[in-house]
Amino acid sequence: MSIDYQKIGAALYQEARFLDDRQWDEWLACYTEDVTYWMPSWDDDDKLTDDHESQISLMYYADRGGLEDRVFRIRTERSSASMPEPRTSHNVTNVEVLAERDNEVDVRYNFNTLNHRYKITDQFFGTIFVTFRKVDDRLLISHKKIALKNDYIRQVLDVYHV
């Protein structure tokens, strides 16, 4: 796959916009069916956990079905983290291509998300590692690992926080 920084940036910015605009179907369409979506936690030695099965994770979804369930809960007011729905602003920076294969590319980028709810604005920031897979003429996320740097937080996290 030939690296196209413009397409990579556009895919990242579009996913962020879909979250900010609460366009849930469009956001889900950014992911492959077999996507792995993982936010490990920090252990006592200040290192990210590396095994979602035996260590604590802040979020883990083995495929897009888990993300679809989150969206269902948000839409049907069954998510305590989402009532009322917060206003968010996702910012993407420092986009870097790490590796390239036939139909995939690994990307690392930093994020800063502002989240406003109950007259309070919270900030979430960190580094995200994604693998994009070329499907038809689109870049879809087939793996997402989120290293949340401010993991001491005062509320329940949901997918739109990062």
Residue 81 in this model has a pLDDT that exceeds 60? no
pTM of the model: 0.91
Which alpha helices (DSSP H) does 21-159 contain, by range?
Answer: 24-28, 64-75
Q: Which residue has the higher pLDDT, 131 or 150?
A: 131
What are 109-142's pLDDT values in tens digits? Answer: 999 999 998 888 889 999 999 999 999 989 999 9
Q: Considering the chain, what is the average pLDDT of its residues?
A: 91
Give the domain range for residue 84: 5-161
Residue 79 in this model has a pLDDT that exceeds 60? no
CATH number of the domain residue 116 falls in: 3.10.450.50
What are 18-54's pLDDT values in tens digits? Answer: 999 999 999 999 999 999 999 999 888 889 999 898 8
Please state, for a pLDDT cut of 70, what percent of the chain lies above it: 94
Number of domains in the chain: 1
Burial category of 71 from C-beta neighbours within 10 Å (exposed 0-12, middle 13-18, buried 19 and up): middle
